[in-house]
Chain A
Amino acid sequence: MSEHIEVGNKKIDVDEDGFIQKWEDWSKDIADYLAKTEGVNEMSKEHWVVVNYLREYYTQYKIAPMIRLLLKETGKRLGQEKAVSNKYLYELFPSGPAKGACKIAGLPKPTGCV
């Protein structure tokens, strides 16, 4: 439980699954670092659209957005008429929106039957 990662010269506390423990610890460098642990080699514009939206939503509601909301909002921000598909999200984040995208965005892991 006292695990940590080192990014730059900073030691960051993470939980057993590698999720950062403190919201304010997050930075773009940490996102880049965490992305690699979740099978995302390089953070593209599309990745950042998802990650930024997750952070905005979390700031307001203290939870990740529901999956359909995430798909729709991501679609909008990518200039699409339609929501992006769940499949597309898995292509961006191979370990999935709850585990991969939330971890990279510095959100806690969603809990429960999800």
Chain B
Amino acid sequence: MKEKIDAPILTGSITVPKIEENASRNQRCHHASEDHMVRLGFPGTKPVDWNKKALKRMRELLKRNRSLRLYLDICVRCGSCADKCHYFLGTGDPKNIPVARQELLRKVYKRYFTIEGKILGGLTNAEDLTEEVLDEWYTYFHQCSQCRRCSVFCPYGIDTAEISMAAREIMDSIGVGQKYCNEVLGKVYDIGNNLGMSGPALRNTLDFFEEDIKETTGVDVKFPLDVKGAEILLVSPSADFFASPHVDSLVGYAKVFHKAGISWTFSSYASEFANFGMFIGSYSIMKRVATRILDEARRLKVKRIVVGECGHAWRVGYSFWNTLIGPFDFVDTRYPVPQHICEFTLDLIKRGAIRLDKSANDEFTVTYHDSCNVARATRMGNKDGGQFEIPRALIREACNKFVEMPKNVNREKTFCCGGGGGLLTEELMDLRVKGTLPKAQALKNLMESRQVNLMVMICAVCKAHFTGVLPHYGIPMETVGGIHQLIGRAIVL
């Protein structure tokens, strides 16, 4: 039952692998069950006329997203993207070269939606949408973490993530869905978060933290839930209530609110910031998931919405909320909606409202992992590059020893952790381990040359993924942490 995990040896430098056809062809994620599909409004199984239905959906997407048609039309096969994808660098499978991945959709687009493809077919690289092609789609569009690193290097800015989202949406529309994302989305519909943690379980969990902080510090730090009229609604990824090291950042958030003396609340209805609707490319599901937060902000009559450490959801919140579910004209418009917890905390430090004792983190030499969606799909604060500068400024406030990652894996050139885009699932472990190779090389290098022993980040996927994967490279899971974990340790209560 257990797949063999084949972790490459770390050398500390990133190299381009030899091409190996079909190297990751067998790395496939579980299919969503009929129940999971129907719950989201998709067909439970693949219909007999799936081909016709898939092309119909594709036509709709091409009409709705002009960018999709543009990206499919303009690639000149220059090869700039060839060595930029972590899954290609890790596996050597040529279908993981971004242009080859795009080509899987592009050849079908050509066949059915361009004049030359309709007339000349295979002579123009056009191909029929067959069972085999669909099978390749399922495999390789679930080997794209939608991290958009390739698009940074593409001279035309072609966004492979958008192409992979479209492919997943087409597949869902014919009953071919992925279990990991679709099961989780069903839980958000039914219970309110990815974990499936009910209100009573959430309250019990928060009670634990209150008692634990009281025991260890003697201070009554509260974790309020469903408080009407609170100033701030805090929405974090639900992994923050459950997993390690995520919970340590949760403790950090609460200590910041406590010390700042601002009233705040979690919500048991809107207990999830993550929004996997984006991963599967579904605008309507993304909207339905995000609307829970809007509705709850209204119901609780909060004045501000602050969000926790979650990468892809920051894209949904920062880049999409306003047009997706806005306008947020009922909250205090002097503040951004949503406001990132990092921006919120840094502002408090700058104003002297909270104080940090950096020496509390002296046991750590810290580096920062830019999470792909934060780095390449958003901004933070009111200055260009704030998504890079605000987290770094916060780390520098919280510790004495901070080391940057090398330039080729940092900021907008950061590599995906290896588990983003809805691939954070056990059956893809071998692929995920290999996809982590570029970032693990850089980290290994810093651990040896600069004695780095903690890599912090602001994404729940990255935290869970690295914690599970780095041990395969001989790097301890305790090397992974969150920014508010550092804050929580350093804040003077």
Contacts and interface: CB of A to CB of B under 8 A. Distances in A.
**A, B assembled together:** yes
A69 interface: yes
Given A62-B201, A66-B205, A113 B244 contact: no
A100 to B, nearest CB: 11
A72 B195 CA distance: 21
Contacts of A64: 242
A63 B305 CA distance: 27
A113 B242 CA distance: 9
Given A1-B33, A61-B204, A112 B274 contact: yes
Given A17-B427, A96-B468, A63 B33 contact: no
Contact of B464 (A1, A37, A65, A114): A114
Contacts of B40: none
Contacts of B46: none
Nearest to B29: A16
B247 A113 contact: no
Contacts of A86: 244, 477-478
Interface in A56-114: 61-69, 72, 86, 96, 98-99, 109-114
Contact of B243 (A61, A63, A67, A109): A67
A113 B198 contact: no
A66 B274 contact: no
Nearest to A38: B2
Contacts of B478: 86
Which of A37, A98, A111, A113 has the most B CB atoms < 10 Å from its CB?
A113
A68 B208 contact: yes
Task: State the majority secondary structure of interface residues on B.
Answer: helix
B211 to A, nearest CB: 9
Contacts of B2: 37
Interface residues of B, number: 43
Contacts of A69: 205, 208
B238 interface: yes
B193 interface: yes
A113 B241 contact: no
Nearest to A5: B1
Contacts of A109: 426
Interface in B450-469: 460-461, 463-464, 468
B464 A113 contact: yes
B194 interface: yes
Contact of B426 (A17, A72, A113): A17
B193 A16 contact: no
A111 B243 contact: no
A12 to B, nearest CB: 14
A68 to B, nearest CB: 6
Interface residues of A, number: 25
Interface in B189-220: 193-198, 200-201, 204-205, 208-209, 212
A66 B195 CA distance: 11
B201 A67 contact: no
A111 B33 contact: no
Q: Tell which of A61, A65, A111 has the most Cβ of chain B within 10 Å.
A: A111
Interface string A30-70: 00000001000000000000000000000001111111110
Given A99-B426, A111-B184, A113-B194, A68 B212 contact: yes
A31 B351 CA distance: 55
- Listed residue (B179, B212, B242) with the most chain A CB atoms within 10 angstroms of its CB: B242
Contacts of A113: 194, 237-239, 243, 246, 274, 310, 424, 460-461, 463-464
Contacts of A61: 197-198, 200-201, 204
Contact of A68 (B184, B198, B244): B244
Given A37-B1, A37-B2, A63-B198, 15 more contacts: A1-B33, A16-B427, A61-B201, A66-B241, A68-B244, A86-B477, A96-B468, A98-B243, A111-B187, A112-B460, A113-B238, A113-B246, A113-B310, A114-B242, A114-B246
26 contacts: A16-B30, A16-B179, A37-B2, A61-B204, A63-B201, A66-B205, A66-B208, A66-B247, A69-B208, A86-B478, A96-B468, A99-B426, A110-B242, A112-B184, A112-B193, A112-B194, A112-B242, A113-B194, A113-B238, A113-B239, A113-B243, A113-B274, A113-B461, A113-B464, A114-B242, A114-B464
